[in-house]
Amino acid sequence: MTRLILILGDQLTEEIAALKRADKDSDVVVMAEVAEETDYVQHHPKKIALIFAAMRKFAARLREAGWDLRYTELDDTGNSGSIAGELLRRAEETGASEVIATEPGEWRLIEALNEAPLQVTQLEDDRFLAAHKTFETWAKGRKALRMEYFYREMRRATGFLMDGDQPEGGEWNYDAENRKPPPDGVAFSGPMQFTPDAVTEEVLALVEARFGKSFGSPRPFSFATEPGQARRALTHFITHALPSFGDYQDAMLDGNRFLYHAGISAYMNIGLLNPMEVCRAAEAAYREGHAPLNAVEGFIRQIIGWREYVRGIYFHEGPDYPRRNGLNHQRGLPALYWGAPTDMRCLSVAVEQTRDEAYAHHIQRLMVTGNFALLAGVNPAEVHDWYLRVYIDAFEWVEAPNTLGMSQFADGGVIASKPYISSGNYINKMSDYCKHCAYDVKAKTGKDACPFNLLYWHFLDRHRERFEGNPRMGNMYRTWDRKDADRRERVLTEAEAFLARLSKGERV
């Protein structure tokens, strides 16, 4: 009996669960470019181009390997516009009534598949190390679900950087060595770039025609669109950047968009790279003496720690997670997030490179765009929508916990034990943005005062009830309370004036 095997645009590997369960002689593989997926948020055009190009090439590889594969292009007549619709169409065409899928990474699509009038089995996505059951077992009975403890379990489970049952070098985490300010020069020219081939060019023309009005442009396009290229990009990173990844992980530079970051998140998220192979390559670099322990431990922690942990949280917390607003923030997203001119250099750099590259590295996302939105009290649903729209690697399972949990504290502290907030001082220490800024990072009040300095105290003051008792924040409140009353009043009044200008859409 023919069954349909569904492969989604972020499941592009021969190792995907549904395909491993399929029978080449009798089953039919279904892949579809559909408006429901391109339009549920207005994705960055580079993301759509990457997914379509990689989908088309994956489909070609499967056909070559002998699969009966039905592929719907976005412009095909008869395209029903949704994944469920395409499954129904292919079911009628082939006589199939059963679908084998791999569980999607967004509740929205899991629910759509559950509601489809077909018998759909959703298999667990075993590209991830922690199965749902593993995460639930770990989470059960814990008061707080902290990444660090989950990460140690993953280290033990994988054996990465283990020396028997002890962590390599005696410590689980070498972050204390990883907070160096930006270097004078960077000896890495960024992720490997690839010239688009005919398949990618065709997709780029389609994306330009259909999504030309979105934030950002599909061209120039230099991403890997097949596994061989993604592996070369990984090797390029391991060879040229991994040794310095740890030292400069938190640094930011005005003229350098990637520093020593890998630029491989999208490849892992859509199936071009397997996360375990990435970690194996990093560990080998350490064992061969090519990269130091602080760099390799930090890198592996991002993947088997943070990446697995945020996915665990997304599924553990349930479909309402993206709608949480624990601090009741209601401000609309400022226009500067869509490129409206701003005098704040850190924000203009982060937003400009986001538009150009569909990429910003972690500290830019967390401590510049995220920090500002949190301090300004922007509605987390709007912040979530922005992050899901603008980054090439954005899928809700990873984007929502990072945005709502880690960055906006909107989940009430499930992920973070305290909000990630900072004044301008932190940005000044970790970047060279302030040197080129119209504001003065040292000024605490007055017309030149860095807005982060005003908003930082405003945030603490307006959320005193919520955070004063937090043991990790007591010092901040003591510092605030030591300032004389006039000074506090002045900071708050200037912060209010700044927020009022922001709300009116004035240039800030």
Which residues of the chain form contacts with ligand SF4 (CB under 6 A)? 344-346, 424, 427-428, 433-434, 437, 439, 441, 450-452
Distance of alpha carbon 439 from alpha carbon 429, whole angstroms: 15
Q: How far is the CB of 242 from ligand FAD (least distance, A)?
A: 9
User: Of the candidates 27, 33, 250, 494, which one interacts with ligand DLZ according to CB under 6 A?
Assistant: 33
Parallel/antiparallel/unpaired status of strands 68-72 and 28-32: parallel
Q: How far is the CB of 234 from ligand FAD (least distance, A)?
A: 10
For ligand SF4, give the closer residue by CB, 58 or 452. 452
The site partner of 386 among ligand SF4, ligand FAD, ligand DLZ, none (C-beta below 5 to 8 Å per kind) is none
Q: Note whether 402 binds ligand FAD by CB under 6 A.
A: yes
Which of 87-91's residues contact partners 24+ apart within 8 Å by CB, and which partners? 87/4, 87/6, 87/30, 87/116, 87/118, 87/120, 88/116, 88/117, 88/118, 90/4, 90/28, 90/30, 91/4, 91/118
The site partner of 379 among ligand FAD, ligand SF4, ligand DLZ, none (C-beta below 5 to 8 Å per kind) is none
Parallel/antiparallel/unpaired status of strands 98-102 and 119-123: parallel
Residue 140 DSSP SS3: coil
Total residues found in the chain within this entry: 508
Question: Which DSSP helix (H) or strand (E) runs through 238?
Answer: helix 227-240
For ligand FAD, give the closer residue by CB, 387 or 456. 387
For ligand DLZ, give the closer residue by CB, 68 or 73. 73
Q: Which two tokens stand for residue 312?
A: 């665990």
Q: Note whether 10 binds ligand DLZ by CB under 6 A.
A: yes
Q: How far is the CB of 339 from ligand DLZ (least distance, A)?
A: 22
Residue 282 DSSP SS3: helix
Q: How far is the CB of 352 from ligand SF4 (least distance, A)?
A: 13
Q: Note whether 285 binds ligand FAD by CB under 6 A.
A: no
Question: Binders of ligand FAD among 252-271, rule CB under 6 A?
Answer: 261-265, 268-269
Beta-carbon count within 10 A of 305 CB: 22
Q: How far is the CB of 441 from ligand SF4 (least distance, A)?
A: 4
User: Cβ-count burial of 177 within 10 angstroms (0-12 exposed, 13-18 middle, 19+ buried)?
Assistant: middle
Q: Which two tokens stand for residue 469?
A: 């008792």
Q: Note whether 362 binds ligand FAD by CB under 6 A.
A: yes
Distance of alpha carbon 19 from alpha carbon 59, whole angstroms: 12
To which residue do tokens 């005696």 refer? 170
* Residue 5 one-letter amino acid: I
Residue of closest CB approach to ligand DLZ: 9
Q: How far is the CB of 112 from ligand FAD (least distance, A)?
A: 21
Span of 90-98, 102-110, 381-389, 461-469 interacting with ligand DLZ by CB under 6 A = 102-110
CB 333 within 8 A of CB 386: yes
Q: Note whether 192 binds ligand FAD by CB under 6 A.
A: no
Contact residues for ligand DLZ, defined by CB under 6 A: 8-10, 32-34, 37-38, 43, 48, 51, 104-106, 109, 395
Site for ligand FAD, rule CB under 6 A: 261-265, 268-269, 299, 302-303, 306-307, 310, 361-362, 365-366, 370, 387, 391, 393-394, 398-399, 402-403, 406-407
